[in-house]
Amino acid sequence: MAEEKCPQLVDYFVVAGLDPTGAWRPLDEDGRSSSSSSASSSPAARAAEPVTDLVVISRGLGEEVPEGFTCIEKTLGGHSAELSAGLLNNPHLYLCYRRGWDKPPIVDLGVLYEGKDQLKTNWYVIETTPYSRSASLSSGGAPTAHRVFVTYRRATDSQGLHTLGVTDIALLLPSKGEVAPHTFCRVNKNLNTGMWGPALFLCFKRAMAKANALLFEAGLISRYPQEDLEAFPLPESVPVFCLPMGVSVESWPLNTKYQLPVFSTFVLTSACGDKVYGAALQFYESFSRELLSERQSVRLGLLSVVDRRPIGSRSVHGKKSICVLSHWPFFTVFQKFLTFIYRYSISGPHVLPLEK
């Protein structure tokens, strides 16, 4: 009598990330792939630069946009974005912003009605213009009038690596049918407290602000078994499902704590219509500087811009994922298994590679 074969629990074990010997395909900030290129010649894939500075200028008093800043001159619908349109003695105030990586990003915006609102902890008020004139959005002439200021909150230094920062700022006029775009946050306080003019509101968008980071499309580093199963060949898209946001290579200040691993699941459909379940664990590990080009090292802050001198106060880390594929949706079991493999891998060194 033929012996019955037990069903196989796991079909494939996969390690996804950046293959040191393969081609690296940079991704833009939206996760879209750009042209393929090797590690030595690929351009630095940049994330969207967050907003780091805000100022209010008075064009009616001859003030110009500071160098490096962008002035918001139009609302979302193309109307004038003047902040002081309702004032009698209109100083023609405009909001300007600057992007960059030189300081922690701005993470929140607000409006302060002086005398009515209390300034929250760690918030800053734009009280004056760069030319030391008042940046109040109200006239403040009457005894009962309250001054109005734009406020903001900045990320702390400890949040600088992985935090949601403001990446876009806009102004809108609801009376003109303008609404905040999807994913934008609206500050529900009217900027125009004057006697004339329509209500004007501030809105902004947050996105992950990662300074000193490069983003690449995930690739296959290793797999087991090496040969495809006849009933279910390993799909080429598995690494992308393991790391859907791409592989980020980042430089951190020395002694920065690692983030905890992130567990995720996905479902694939084979050619014959069977469902295949994937369970993946994402984590960071040390990344070799020797694999980076000079341009990439400068982008990561590992070399000085002027004389290309190495900067030793930072360490390099890359994202990687380990994954199992199975015809059985035992996600809790797979999570425990992958977590055990990860913990075992960081307890090394080991004689044999992790995948064996």
In a domain, 309, yes or no: yes
User: Tokens 């002035």, residue?
Assistant: 71
CATH number at residue 173: 2.100.10.50
Is 173's pLDDT higher than 60? yes
Whether residues 101 and 244 share a domain: the answer is: no
Whether residues 205 and 63 share a domain: the answer is: yes
In a domain, 351, yes or no: no
Q: Give percent above pLDDT 70 in the chain.
A: 84
Show the domain range for 115.
51-209
Is 28's pLDDT higher than 70? no
Over residues 230-236, the mean pLDDT reads: 88
What pLDDT is stored for residue 32 in this prediction? 52
In a domain, 1, yes or no: no
CATH number at residue 234: 3.30.450
What pLDDT is stored for residue 210 in this prediction? 67
The domain boundary, picked from 209, 243, 270, lies at 209
Average pLDDT, rounded, for the chain: 83
Whether residues 107 and 153 share a domain: the answer is: yes
In a domain, 356, yes or no: no
Whether residues 41 and 64 share a domain: the answer is: no
Over residues 157-161, the mean pLDDT reads: 56
Q: Which one is predicted more confidently, 2 or 183?
A: 183
The domain boundary, picked from 209, 239, 257, lies at 209
At 100-154, the pLDDT tens digits run: 877 788 999 999 998 888 888 889 999 999 999 989 888 654 444 578 999 999 9
In a domain, 267, yes or no: yes
Whether residues 259 and 305 share a domain: the answer is: yes
User: Count of CB atoms within 10 A of residue 296's CB?
Assistant: 22
Whether residues 203 and 63 share a domain: the answer is: yes
In a domain, 6, yes or no: no
At 41-95, the pLDDT tens digits run: 333 444 567 899 999 999 988 999 999 999 999 999 999 898 887 676 788 899 9
Whether residues 161 and 64 share a domain: the answer is: yes
What pLDDT is stored for residue 27 in this prediction? 73
Is 245's pLDDT higher than 90? no
Q: What is the pTM of this model?
A: 0.60
Whether residues 108 and 144 share a domain: the answer is: yes
**Confidence tier at 252 by pLDDT (50, 70, 90):** confident
Number of structural domains in the chain: 2
What pLDDT is stored for residue 58 in this prediction? 92
